[in-house]
């Protein structure tokens, strides 16, 4: 029996939407390199392949710019399911920027997985006086976007911000920040202006979050 390696890429697309679908596993190249031996593939290296004993460099890369919307994963390695024989002792170190070092011992058959997670989006905007520089606190905005309940209003937070979805997280009056958003296109309309002002007219649409 000889040592073998199998690499698998997994993607958590929980922040994606029908409008902005996530990437599939084959958008990443996974690779194991030991000396002159390289095992690589798009999303997976396929069936277990032979690999020399000793240190093996693991990596994942993607040419798709949308891959930047995913948080880096950690390589996790274990004995390949269904293996019979000697005790397993191979181990993998910490992952940095998709790279890690695996130590393959004896004739271990090793399977390694890495999962990247789609990161939630965020929006920021501000309410200004006619001079274009003075912030105005106290406005409310109707928000629309993927999964946003109809009629959702975002109220300007002052000092202490509430937790929960679609709550302003910027405590400075006149500045707005929404976090934890599903990917897609969002728009706002001013529902209530600060005292002494009339609401801005029209719909303001943000660049699609991906």
pLDDT digits (tens, 9 = 90+) for 176-186: 999 999 999 99
Give the pLDDT confidence of 6-28 residue by residue, as tens digits. Answer: 999 999 999 999 999 999 999 99
83 pLDDT band (50/70/90 cuts)?
confident
Q: Which of 86, 81, 85, 131 is nearest to 110 (CA)?
A: 81
Burial class (CB in 10 A: 0-12, 13-18, 19+), 198: exposed
Token output for 89: 């002792």
Question: What pLDDT is stored for residue 93 in this prediction?
Answer: 97
> Could you report the per-residue pLDDT of 87-126, keeping only the tens digit for each?
999 999 999 999 999 999 999 999 999 999 999 999 999 9
DSSP conformation class of 166: T
Q: Is 191 helix (H, G, I), strand (E, B) or coil?
A: strand
Tell whether the model's pLDDT for residue 86 goes beyond 80: no
Burial bucket for residue 164 (CB in 10 Å: 0-12, 13-18, 19+): exposed
Residues 125, 141: Cα–Cα separation, whole Å: 11
Element (H, E) at 66: none
């Amino acid at each position: 029996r000889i040592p073998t390696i199998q690499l698998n890429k997994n993607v958590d697309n929980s922040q994606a939407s029908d409008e902005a679908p996530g990437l599939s596993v084959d958008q990443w190249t996974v690779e194991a390199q030991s000396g002159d031996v390289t095992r690589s593939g798009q999303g997976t290296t396929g069936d277990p392949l032979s690999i020399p004993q000793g240190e093996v460099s693991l990596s994942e890369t993607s040419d798709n710019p949308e891959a930047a919307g995913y948080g880096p994963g950690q390589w996790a390695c274990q004995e390949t399911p269904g293996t019979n024989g000697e005790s397993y002792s191979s181990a993998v170190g910490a992952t940095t920027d998709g790279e890690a070092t695996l130590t393959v011992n004896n004739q271990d058959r090793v399977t390694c997985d890495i999962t990247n997670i789609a990161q939630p989006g965020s929006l920021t905007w501000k309410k200004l006086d006619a001079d274009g520089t003075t912030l105005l606190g106290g406005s409310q905005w109707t928000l629309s976007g993927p999964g946003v309940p109809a009629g959702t209003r975002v109220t300007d937070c002052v000092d202490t911000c509430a937790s929960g979805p679609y709550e302003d997280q910027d405590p400075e009056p006149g500045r707005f920040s929404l976090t934890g958003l599903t990917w897609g296109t969002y728009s706002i309309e001013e529902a209530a202006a600060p005292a002494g002002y009339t609401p801005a007219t029209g719909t303001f649409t943000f660049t699609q979050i991906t």
